[in-house]
Amino acid sequence: MAFLHVEFPSSWPGWRTPECTLTPLLLTAHGDEEEEEESTVLPAHDKPLTVSVDPKTNADYYSDSPVFRAYFLRSSASATCASAAASASVAVALKFAMRDDLIDDLVREASVYTGVLGGLQGHVVPRCYGIYAGTMDDGQTVACLALEYWGECLLITTSRQTVPEDSVGLHQLLSARSYESR
């Protein structure tokens, strides 16, 4: 099992944690259900995957659930990965939960990515690289969901939005799953 080592910017005022190492709670694999693919980022050893949080990330790092843009750092440990995703400077979104109730929510979100959305990863929804948990230097328990980075948050103020073409596929999948569970 690979650990996730997160390096935080030293330039953030008030942020006192330079780094943390988190252990996997749930390892993910993605791809079509017919294909058997290994995880594209998680190597099969105990060396940590290192990500560096972008100091220019647009996040409220004082929040109980900050989301940071980060980059996998090139390392020899990634040579055993199923793809080159971890060996390149790949952007990821790190969704942190810094309260027990938020950690439970983040674990549920990870199970949705690895369950019903598994076949849509990389096409309709971001790839999920796993969920990790640990303790910060100050003793605070945290969880982190690592996802493929698909851009900044959209700030839409309109009351009606058009449905993107990919959302139709997601809607059809969820509708079919909902119908099957009746």
Cα 80 to Cα 6, 39, 47, 131, distances in angstroms: 20, 11, 11, 20
Distance CA 179, CA 9 (A): 47
Q: Which CATH number does the domain housing residue 50 bear?
A: 3.30.200.20
What predicted TM-score, i.e. pTM, was given to this entire model?
Answer: 0.69
Q: What is the pLDDT at residue 81?
A: 39
In a domain, 160, yes or no: no
Asked whether residue 176 is domain-assigned, the answer is no
Secondary structure of residue 79 in the 3-state scheme: helix
pLDDT bin (cut points 50, 70, 90) of residue 111 is: very high
Residue 66, in any domain of the structure: yes
Q: How many Å apart are CA 43 and CA 87, to the nearest integer?
A: 11
> What average pLDDT does the structure give for the chain?
74
CA distance 124 to 40: 17
Residue range 130-144, pLDDT digits in tens: 999 999 888 889 999
**Distance of CA 60 to CAs 15, 63, 181, Å?**
11, 6, 39
Look at strands 67-72 and 19-26 and give their pairing.
unpaired
- Domain tally for the chain? 1
Does residue 182 sit within a domain?
Answer: no
Is residue 72 situated within a structural domain? Answer: yes
Whether residue 3 is predicted with pLDDT greater than 80 in this model: the reply is yes
Q: Rounded to an integer, what distance in angstroms lies between the CA atom of residue 88 and that of residue 93?
A: 15
What does the pLDDT read at residue 5? 92
C-alpha to C-alpha distance for 16 and 44, rounded to whole angstroms: 32
pLDDT given for residue 140 in this prediction: 87
| More confident site: 88 or 111 | 111
Examine residue 51 and state whether it is found in any structural domain, yes or no: yes
Instruction: Please give the structure tokens belonging to residue 54.
Output: 């972008």
Please report which confidence band the pLDDT of residue 38 belongs to, taking 50, 70 and 90 as the band edges: very low
Amino acid 74: pLDDT: 64
Within-domain flag for 174:
no
Residue 167 domain flag: no
Residue-wise pLDDT tens digits, 66-78: 899 999 886 544 4
Helix (H) or strand (E) run with residue 172 in it? helix 165-180
| H or E segment to which residue 111 belongs | helix 100-114
> Quick check: 96 pLDDT over 90?
yes
Question: Would you state the pLDDT for residue 64?
Answer: 87
